[in-house]
Amino acid sequence: MSWEINEYPDNQTLIKSLSSRIEELLRQRIADNGHASMAVSGGSTPAALYNALAEIDLPWSDVIVSLVDERWVDEDHPDSNAALVRRALIKDFASTARLVSMKTCAIDAFAGQLKLHRWLSAIILPLDLVLLGMGNDGHTASLFPHAEGLSEALDTSDPAVCRAIRPANMAVTRMSLSLRTLLGAGHRMIYIVGENKLKTLQAALQPGSVTDMPVRAILHNATVHTDIFYAPD
């Protein structure tokens, strides 16, 4: 396993450092390949980071922005990750970046996963960077503990770019990048804020069941490195 915890005194300092790191990676990939591809998380934690990234003068027209996961809701729904990323990131200097959604017209994520796999395979791969969060239950992306579809999403022999997930006690299905896709990205970053998240991280860094805490599948992988960015508030 290979991971490094980058701890900061506060979230503002973290955002300044992390946005600079992401800028550096994107600039390098664009210089090397003419384009860059990154997958980002939804939720309230990264919104301020996206605001900061949008203010960086990058050749954003050469950047593809996709999602690590999405609830199976349309973009006009308040819980849409695509809508959050569009509001917080796809603006200012970053207004020319291409945002790739994970939601199709299929009735649910399970019905839509094959078509979405083919589409994402052609557009977002190879991923240069994935920006992940982590829940207090040890989930990352939409890899929720003991969820329907979790075993398929964690199967690294499965070539699927994404897999449908039905978390326990949640009505809406979700689409998540598969573990294979997350591990195949050039860089992995986990961004967490708050002491409760730190306690969860400390538990996840201990050996244990991946189905109990799916983030372990990334943290304990022997072949890839993951950078963790943490601030107490």
Q: Tell which phi-psi region holds residue 169, choosing left (phi > 0), alpha (psi between -120 and 50) or beta.
A: left
C-beta atoms surrounding 195 within 10 Å: 10
Q: Taking residues 14-43, what's their average pLDDT?
A: 98
Fold of 2-231: Rossmann fold (3.40.50)
- Give the closest residue to 176 by CA, choosing from 163, 191, 167: 163
DSSP 77-128: STT-HHHHHHHHTSSGGGGGSEE-----SSSSHHHHHHHHHHHHHHHTPSPS
Q: What is the structure's pLDDT at 108?
A: 97
Asked whether the predicted pLDDT for residue 44 surpasses 90, the reply is no
Q: In what order do the strands lie in the sheet with 174-177?
A: 69-71, 174-177, 162-165
Over range 202-207, report the average pLDDT: 97
- From the list 203, 50, 232, the residue with the least C-alpha distance to 139 is 203
As given in the structure block, the two tokens for residue 154 are 């964690």
Task: Grade residue 43 by pLDDT with cuts at 50, 70 and 90.
Answer: confident
Which residue stretches of 97-228 are H helix?
109-123, 150-154, 179-184, 195-204, 216-219
User: pLDDT of 164-194, one tens digit each?
Assistant: 999 998 889 999 999 999 999 999 999 999 9
Indicate if the pLDDT at residue 45 is higher than 90: yes
pLDDT at 146 over 80: yes
Q: What pLDDT is attached to residue 25?
A: 99
Residue 1 has a pLDDT of 62
On average, the pLDDT of the chain sits at 97
Least Cα distance to 43 among 119, 145, 123, 139 occurs for: 139
Residues 6+ away with beta carbon under 8 Å from 31: none
Q: List pLDDT tens digits, range 65-111.
A: 999 999 999 999 999 999 999 999 999 999 999 999 999 999 999 99
60's tokens: 């954003």
- At residue 58, the pLDDT reads 98
Question: Distance between CA atoms of 89 and 106, rounded to whole angstroms?
Answer: 26
